[in-house]
Amino acid sequence: MSSAPGLPVRCRMVSVLVLRGTGSGTRMLLVRRAGAYLDGVWSYVAGHVEAGETGWQAALRELREETRLLPATLHATSFCEQFYSVRSDGIELVPAFVARVADDVAVRLNGEHSAFRWATFDEACGLLPFGSQRDLLAHVRREFVEREPSPFLRIALD
């Protein structure tokens, strides 16, 4: 029995854009990957959804694991990165979240990253290697920095 033609569509990961500051003073946390996958590449926090987790729970867990940060607020962005993965021969959808943190937080990286920096959106755009990342960045700038995000996107952390 053969399966239907086409590529599988999967949603197994989440992305978290960590922001501090407001308006033109907004900075985004970038982390430099360390390890076999994308070694040396600047990115934002991202990771796989584990069994039994919701997307937002995975976002919070990944944020804690990779940076030890706890957000003051967490929002869904209503944006999913999408790309073709050669490794899995399928289309990957990655829902994105925005975590707001205080200006004076201490970032403590785990072994997945070798460095971090707080970047302006323009700096981040120049450092992120993939078009879907830059598209997400433009969306977040427009919907979370240049205006107040919709209250319907806020996730209660209580």
pLDDT tens column, 79-89: 999 988 888 89
Structural domains of the chain in order of their starting residue, each with its CATH number: 9-155 (3.90.79.10)
95-132 per-position pLDDT tens digit: 999 999 999 999 999 989 999 999 999 999 999 999 99
Q: Is the pLDDT of residue 35 over 90?
A: no
Contact 58, 49 (CB under 8 A): yes
Residue 154 pLDDT grade (very low, low, confident, very high; cuts 50, 70, 90):
very high
Reply yes or no on whether the pLDDT at 39 is more than 90: no
Structure tokens of 57?
């729970």
- Confidence (pLDDT) at 2: 52
Inter-residue contact 119 to 19 (CB < 8 Å): no
Alpha carbon distances (Å) from 79 to 37, 83, 146, 149: 24, 13, 16, 13
Report pLDDT digits (tens) over 46-66: 999 999 999 999 999 999 999
Instruction: Please tell me the pTM assigned to this model.
Output: 0.92
What tokens appear for 48 in the block?
Answer: 């796989």
